Each structure stands twice: as C-alpha cells, then as structure tokens.
Amino acid sequence: MNVNLYGTQGKWVMVDLGLTFADPGYPGVELILPDLAFIEERADDLLGVVLTHGHEDHIGAIPYLAADLGVPLYATRFTAELIKGKLDEEGLTGKVDLHVIENEGSFQLGPFGFTYVPLAHSIPEGNALLIDTPHGRIFHTGDWKIDEAPLLGQPSTAEELTAIGDQGVLALVCDSTNVFNEEASGSEADVRKGLDEAIGACKARVLVTTFASNAARLQTLGEVAQDTGRKLCVAGRSLDRIIRVAKASGYLQHFPPVIDVDEAMRLPPREVMIIATGGQGEARAALSRIAFDSHPIKLSAGDTVVFSSKQIPGNEIAIGRIQNALAAKGVEMITDRQAEVHVSGHPGRPELKAMYGWIRPEIILPVHGELRHMAEQARFAKSLGVPHGIVQSNGTLVRLAPDGPKAIGHERTGRLVLDGDVILPADGSTMNERRRAGLYGFVGVTVVIGKDGRLKGEPALHLQGLPVEEDREDFVADACAAAADAVAKGGKDEAKLREAIRLAVRRRATSWTGKKPVVDVAIIRV
C-alpha cells in the first residue's frame, strides 16, 4: 500500500497511491486504503500524483481517493490505461485529470522535475523516477529487478544507469523486498524453460495460476502453450482486462488466440492449458471456485495445477485451503519449490549491489517490504560504501537535504477500509463494533414498560454467535429474568435503566459462557 510524499519549497508531490487487501482482522472488508489526512490538510500545496507502475499496491486506491485530492495524475501509457479503466468503473471518467507520459519522458511539477527511467519488473512499464529538486536528485526505484532477457519492454541498461550516477544522485529510494535473497531474482526466459519442462510432462489437463498483472508471465504462458501443443483458455476477468490493456498498449501482440471455457472442457484434456487467477487463495477468484466446484471449469484426478507465483506471506492458510481441496480431487500440484515456474519481480542482493554501483548515491533510503527488510538494506548498502542511510517507518518525516538524512518528525498515518460503498477508518467505531460482535457474540434485549414504570410481558432476547446451543432456552430464561429484575429496580432515568439492563444480561452471559457479548438494549414505553 504505497504512498510516498516529497516536499520542497512549500510544495508537495505524491508518488504512487496504492491499496492492500484485508485480512481476517477486518471482517466484511476486502480493500484497505491509506489515510491521506496529512496531505489532505495541505491539499492546496499538492501538485500531482506520479505513478511508477500499474500494480494494485501502487495504483489501486486511485478510484477511491484521487478525485478528492483534486490534482492531476501522471503515468506512462500502460499504467494510464489501467487507471482509466478503474476510473471508468467508478463513474469518474473526465473527473480526474490523467496525463499520459511517454516512456522515458520528462515533465515538471513546480520545483520538481520528473524523468521516467524504465526498469524490469513483473508488469509492463515498470519505472524508476529520477526526481530533480533544488537540493539534489532522487532516484526512486519503484519495484524493480534485473532481467537480461525481458519479454516485454526495454529496461535501462547498465550504461544508462551509470550515466545517471555520473551526474550525481543525492538519495536512492530503493526496493527492499528481496534483500535477504543471496541470489539474483532470475530472468523470465528461465521461467519459460521451467514451465516447458513441467507442463510438457503432464498427461492431462493443466491449469496455471499467476498474478493477473504479470503480463510478462502471460506472454511466457502463451509461448508455453504453443511449445507444448495446447490450446489456451483464460479464466478470470482481471486476466481479460490485463490482456486487453496490454494489447492496446502495444504488448502481447503475439499472444495466441484463446478458446472459451465450453470448448476447453470439450477438448481432450491433453490438448488444453488454462490460465486462471487465484494463486494467493482469493475466495472469489477462478481457482478457488474451480477447486470447490462452483465454476464451469472442472478438474479431476490426474490433472495438474501449476502455481506460477510466489506465496505472499499471510496467504498461507487461504492457499492451503485451496490446495487441500485440489488434493482431495487427486489433482497434482507444482509450485516454485518443485520446479522453476516463477521468478520474483524484486531485486536480490546481487542486483542491489549492482544498483549501488551504478547510481552511487550519497544516501540510501530503503522502502518496500517490512521493517526488517528495510533495516537490512540500510546495513547492506553501508557495507558496500553508500555513505549515509536512514530507516523510516510509516509516518516518518525525513529531511534528505540540506543537512540530511535526518528524521525531523513523525506524522500520523493510518488505514481506511472500503466497507461496501463507504470509506471508514479502520480503527473506527464500525469496525471495532463488528470485531467485538464477531469475537464475543451479540445479544439484543427488548423490554416494554408501561406508564406505571412496570414491565409489560416478558423481555425478548435475540442472540447471535453466543455459545449456548444446547442450553439456549435455559440461558434465555435466565437472562430475561435478569433483565426483568433490572427493570423492577430501575428508575425514571432511561439511560441509567438501559445500562442496568445491559450489564445484567451481560453478567448472565458471562456466567453461562465465559464471554462478554455485545448487548444492545431497546426500551419501548407504552
């Protein structure tokens, strides 16, 4: 969930505006957005949002937050087309100013000069940003790797990056994701060989799951389908969208024609290869629906699923659930642990070392990954002669120049959730109430009180998620008696009476279950 802010001379620019995906700590929520309160308070001084590439963690929050920022967006063509599709889906066509910058193009925003510097990544038009400021130049890598044989696009050469370093770079703001990897990430060309071998040995139907945005991998899979004599079927709307945008932007021009699902299921299994979304265990993605028999594509014993992607930390349980379902069908599975069917889009230590040598920054400012990754990159860069470094956390305000690097403050950062169609604080009352109800259960109490202040009839209880299944009737009778007793002892102050009833019922629930449920009390006076 990347949002970076650079400020000088009282003006600000934003680099990337991404989202992340919710975990079970956010019940009922799928998308997490960044809280932009810091820059919203300075919106008059924000000049624009510059996007490095089209992954969701870099552009995903744009349709939800960019219109309120009220500033133009800047991106190269492929990224801009992905953004345009998102804006169209949200009914924001024409309401957000989107500028398309040519590959390796430059533009000026107030005191900031930007130049796109192509770098290899797992999506077309991955870019670093060379940012000129009155105090020095920043080389902001975005996500990157070294690929000597890229399938899509032409990343900058060592000579071109060395020339940038020759002109002087104040700070290298650099991807830390794979800093603990002793080996380079590898080339997409190596994946083609590994997939050819793995899929060529399969005797039945093959399904390959990968990140939809990895257009280079889609190109590879198209070639592998041809290499192995299989017709290609694509399952997943996000895959359809990426293929469409990539072709419109000049990529995937030789991607083979695809067959529809019905034809894929009619053909002999040995003649079919399916590309599907869902390798990270996403419940609504094609692979999950296939695994649990709610998709027109059916897999059976002897078929193979190839996971052509890395398991993202935190997704282990969701992925395991799908793999167990596939195993129950007798489906065989191949991951990057069994064969070379995936390479990362992020730099290992040899690639980082090369970048330091080309750019030769005065300062290393690690980004991406967790704090342990960023701290390790700072140590690694220092060991290789980068003079200065600083490790930041979310909200750290860093002065790079003059007299930097130095942490000069810490600003509040936070998370927002997209809950249905509403954006809410991730730690606000709605989410906290939902978490409490999910953890402890819910009891609704309704009492009817007459003009004489006495209870009319019996209290009514409504339970959700309280562990009293076999003793439900006895518990309800006991809790109703406690509520009636609280009414009998109550006074005319309705707030105090409501609280007395709430506490009485919750005490009975705790006595029966050991849990303290959310208790909501409704008082009706007649």
Task: Pick the closest to residue 365 from 352, 345, 381 (CA basis).
Answer: 381
For 448-473, the pLDDT digits (tens) are: 999 888 899 999 999 999 999 999 99
Which bin fits 134, alpha (ψ -120 to 50), beta or left (φ > 0)? Answer: alpha
Q: What is the pLDDT of residue 2?
A: 95
Q: Specify whether the backbone of 369 is left (phi greater than 0), alpha (psi in -120 to 50) or beta.
A: left
Could you tell me the two tokens for 308?
Answer: 């052509």
Cα torsion 198, 204, 209, 210: sign: positive
- Cα gap 416→423, rounded to integer Å: 6
Question: Is the pLDDT reported for residue 490 higher than 80?
Answer: no
Let me know: does 184 contact 146? Beta carbons within 8 Å.
yes
CA dihedral of residues 25, 29, 32, 33 (deg, nearest 10) = -140
pLDDT in tens, 59-95: 999 999 999 999 999 999 999 999 999 999 999 998 9
| HEC letters along 135-191 | CEEEEECCCCECCCCCCCCCCCCHHHHHHHHHCCCCEEEEECCCCCCCCCCCCHHHH
How many angstroms separate the Cα of 483 from the Cα of each of 6, 248, 459, 496, 505? 58, 67, 7, 13, 6
Contact 38, 5 (CB under 8 A): yes
Contact present, 51 and 59 (Cβ < 8 Å): yes
- Split at pLDDT 50, 70, 90, the class of 21 is confident
The average confidence (pLDDT) of the chain is 94
**CB-based burial, 371-392: b 16+ in 10 Å, e otherwise:** eebbbbbbebbeeeebebbbbb
Phi-psi region of 392 (alpha: psi -120 to 50; beta: other; left: phi over 0): beta
For the stretch 394-426, pLDDT in tens is 999 999 999 999 999 999 999 999 999 999 999
Contact by Cβ (8 Å): 344, 145:
yes
Kindly tell me if the per-residue pLDDT of 45 is higher than 90.
yes
Highest mean pLDDT, choosing among 87-96, 127-136, 147-156: 127-136
Query: Residue 311: pLDDT band by 50, 70, 90 thresholds?
Result: confident
Say if residue 319's pLDDT is above 90.
yes
pLDDT of residue 117: 98
Sheet holding 46-50, edge to edge: 4-8, 11-15, 46-50, 73-76, 98-101
Write down the pLDDT at residue 419.
Answer: 94
Residue 250: both structure tokens together:
């000049």
Is the preceding peptide bond at 124 cis, omega within 30 degrees of 0? Answer: no
Q: How confident is the model at residue 195 (pLDDT cuts 50, 70, 90)?
A: very high
pTM above 0.75, yes or no: yes
Res. 313 pLDDT band, cuts 50 70 90: confident
**Residue 278, phi then psi, degrees to nearest 5:** 115, 15
- Write down the pLDDT at residue 213: 86
pLDDT at position 142: 96
